[in-house]
Amino acid sequence: MFDADEGLAEGTEMNRAEIMHSHLPEDHPPVQRPRIGVLLANLGTPDNYDYWSMRRYLNEFLSDRRVIDYSPWIWQPLLQTIILTKRPFSSGAAYKSIWNHEAGESPLMTITKDQTAKIKAAMAERYGDDVIVDFCMRYGNPSTRSKVRSLAEQGCQKILFFPLYPQYAGATTATANDQFFRALLYEKWQPTVRTVPAYYEHPKYIEALAQSVERAYGAMETRPDVLVASYHGVPRRYLMEGDPYHCQCQKTTRLLRERLGWDQAEIVTTFQSRFGPEEWLKPYTVEEVARLAETGKKNIAVIAPAFSADCIETLEEINEEIRESFEEAGGEAFTYIPCLNDDDTHVEALSTVIDENLSGWVAPRR
C-alpha cells in the first residue's frame, strides 16, 4: 500500500502529485493531488417546464419531509393522486413565463452558474488550484451526490458545503445539509467536511443588500413610501418548535434598516409562498401589500433578502402575483428590487464567508 505521508515527506523538487505517483506500485489506482472542494448549494430547478419535468421536480421537492412534515400515510396519497396531477400544469406555466429560453434553463440555473464562475475566479486568485469550486441543487440537477462524487474524483479530501440561504431554516439549509450527508454514504473514502452556517447578519451580506437598495432608490424619480422585505414563509408551527428562521429574518431586516439609516416605518418584514391550510409566519406579503395600498402607501418597493438568486418565487410570485395584489388594492407604483444574484458585492460577501470557513484548512496565497 502506498504511504502518502512518507512519499510527501521525501520530495523537495517534485510537486505533490509527482511525489505520490513516483511511489505508487504499478497496479495501484490513480491518486489525485489533495485539494479542497467548495460546493455551493441552492434549492433546485426543473429540467424543463413540460408536465413530466415539472412532475418529477415537484415530486422530489414535495416528498421531502423537511418541507412537508405531515405523515406520509396522509400526505403521499394526496400528493400522488391530486396535487401531482394538477400542479405540474400551473407550475409549468409559471416557469414558462420566466424561463431563459435562449439558454434552455431556468433563471435560477443561469444565475447560479454565473455566481459559481465568479466565486471560482475569486477563489483561484486567493488559493490558486488548491481549491475547487462547484455547485449542486437540492432538488433536480445537478444533484448533490453527483457533485460530491466529482469533487472526490478530483482529489478533494476536504469539502466545504455552502447552502446559499442567508437565514437558516429546516426546510432549506437543513435539508440541503441532509442531502450532502446522504451523498457521503456512497464514498469509500469520505472527505473531511464542514458546512457553512447561516450568514444573515454578516456585515458584507448586509452591505450588499443595502447597496442594492440604494442603487434602486437612486434610480427612481419618487422615493417609495415603504420597502417591503419579503422572505419565503414557513409554517408558524416551525417557529414554535425551535426553528430560528423567523428571528434571523427579523434581524436581517433590522440590520439592513440600521445600515440604511432609516426609521422603522420605512421598512416592513413580510412572508410569502404560503402553502396548505395551516397558519404560516405573518404578515403574508400578498395581504400586506394590499393593506399598504388601502392605507395610502401607493408607492412601494419589494426586496427578497432570503433568496440568493432570482427564481420562480421572485420573478413570478413577487413581480406578478404580489404586484397584482398591490395594484388591485389601489397601489400605483410597484418596484421589485432584484436579488443580489452575481452582483460583485454579493460575490465578495459570499467569498468572504467561504474564506472564513476555510480557515485552518488552507491559507491564501496572497
pLDDT tens for 175-233 read 999 999 999 999 999 999 999 999 999 999 999 999 999 999 999 999 999 999 999 99
Kindly state the average pLDDT of the residues 304-318: 96
Percent helix, percent strand, percent coil in the chain, to nearest 5: 50, 15, 35
The proportion of the chain whose per-residue pLDDT surpasses 90, expressed as a percent, equals 88
Residue 85 has pLDDT above 60, yes or no: yes
Whole-number pLDDT of residue 186: 96
pLDDT of residue 24: 61
DSSP of 20-59 = HHHT--TTSPP-PPPEEEEEEEEEEE-S-SSHHHHHHHHH
Q: Residues 41, 161: contact at Cβ < 8 Å?
A: yes
What pLDDT, on a 0 to 100 scale, did the predictor assign at position 33?
Answer: 84
Residue 2's pLDDT is 42
Average pLDDT, the chain: 92
- 127, three cell numbers: 488559493
Which of 211, 218, 184, 171 shows the shortest CA–CA distance to 44?
A: 171
Residue 276 has a pLDDT of 79
pLDDT in tens, 162-183: 999 999 999 999 999 999 999 9
363 has pLDDT over 50: yes
Model confidence pLDDT, tens digit, residues 122-173: 999 999 999 999 999 999 999 999 999 999 999 999 999 999 999 999 999 9
276 by Cβ neighbours in 10 Å (0-12 / 13-18 / 19+) ranks as exposed
331 CB-near residues (< 8 Å, 6+ apart): 289, 290, 292, 293, 297, 298, 299, 300
Which has more pLDDT, 2 or 251? 251
∠ CA 9-11-12, rounded to 5°: 115
Q: What is the pTM of this model?
A: 0.91
pLDDT above 90 for 277:
no
Indicate if the pLDDT at residue 65 is higher than 70.
Answer: yes
Percent of the chain with pLDDT over 70: 92
116 residue type, one letter: T
